[in-house]
Amino acid sequence: MEYSNPELPEGINISKENPLKEFIILTVGLLALVFVVISILIVVVDNFADKIPFEMEKELPVSSFIENMEVEKLPPYLDKVSQKILASFDLPEKMKITFHYVNEDTVNAFATLGGHIVLYRGLLEKLKYEDELAMVVAHEIAHIKYRHPILSVSHGIVVGVVLTAISSSTGNSIVNDMVGQTGMASLMRFSRDYEYQADKDAISSLIKIYGHADGALGLFDVFNSEFGDDLSFEFLTTHPLTENRISQTTKMIEHYNLSPGRDMVIIPSEFKAWLKTQKENAEVNE
Amino acid sequence: MYDLIIFIVMLALGYGFGRYAESRHYRTIIKREKQLNSIPAIASKIPPFRRQDLNSQLVAGNVVISVDFFKRFIAGLRNIFGGRITSYETLLDRARREAILRMKEEAKKLNAELIFNIKLETSSIYKGRGNSIGSVEVLAYGTALFPH
Q: How large is the C-alpha radius of gyration of chain B? A: 19
CA distance A226 to chain B (A): 19
Can you tell me the mean pLDDT for A72-98? 90
For residue range B97-131, what is the model confidence (pLDDT) as tens digits? 999 999 999 999 999 999 999 999 999 876 655 55
Mutating which of A3, A7, A10, A13 best tests the B interface, going by the most B Cβ atoms within 10 A?
A13
ipTM of this complex: 0.76
Contact of A146 with A198, CB cutoff 8 Å: yes
Question: In the sheet where B54-66 sits, what is the strand order?
Answer: B54-66, B133-147, B114-127
The predicted-structure confidence for A150-160, as pLDDT tens digits, reads as follows 898 889 888 88
Cα–chain-centroid distance for residue A7?
64
For residue B98, what are the CA distances in angstroms to A46, A225, A260, B123, B136?
57, 60, 75, 15, 12
Q: CB–CB of B81 and A27 under 8 A?
A: no
Give phi and psi for A257, each to the nearest 5. 60, 40
Asked whether B64 and B125 are in contact (CB, 8 A), the reply is yes
- The answer to whether residues B136 and B123 touch, using CB atoms and an 8 Å cutoff, is yes
Interchain pair A175, B73: CB under 8 A: yes
CB pair distance less than 8 Å for B37 and A7: yes
Residue B128's closest chain A neighbor by CA?
A: A173
pLDDT, one tens digit per residue, over A97-119 is: 999 999 989 889 999 888 899 99
The minimum CA-CA distance between A210 and chain B, rounded to whole Å, is 39
What is the percent of chain A with per-residue pLDDT over 70, rounded to a whole number?
94
3-state helix, strand, coil split of chain B in percent (to 5) is: 50, 30, 20
Reply yes or no on whether the pLDDT at B3 is more than 80.
no
Q: What residues of A are in the B interface, CB distance below 8 Å?
A: 1, 3, 5, 7, 10, 12-15, 17, 19-20, 22-23, 26-27, 29-30, 166, 169-178, 181, 231-233, 236
Chain B residue set in contact with A, beta carbons under 8 Å: 1, 3-4, 7, 15, 19, 30, 33-34, 37, 40, 42, 48, 69-81, 84, 86-87, 89-90, 92-93, 128-132
* CB-nearest partner of A175 from B77, B90, B93: B77
Q: Does B48 contact A3 at a Cβ distance shorter than 8 Å?
A: yes
Q: Which residues of A touch B87 (CB under 8 A)?
A: 19, 22
Number of Cβ within 10 Å of residue A39's Cβ equals: 15
A232 contact residues in B (CB cutoff 8 A):
1
How many CB pairs (< 8 A) connect A and B?
Answer: 90
- Give the per-residue pLDDT at A66: 73
Q: Tell me, what amino acid is at A245? A: R
Q: What is the residue-averaged pLDDT of chain A? A: 85
What is the rounded CA–CA span in Å between residue B134 and residue B127? Answer: 6
Using the 8-state DSSP alphabet, how is residue B41 labeled?
Answer: B
Q: Which of B65, B61, B89 is nearest to B75 (CA)?
A: B89
The closest CB to that of A169, out of B80, B84, B86, belongs to B80
| Position A231 pLDDT exceeds 60 | no
Contact list, B48 vs chain A (CB under 8 Å):
1, 3
Q: Testing the interface with A: which of B2, B19, B80, B96 to mutate, by most A Cβ within 10 A?
A: B80
What confidence score (pLDDT) does residue A262 get? 67
| pTM score of the predicted model | 0.75
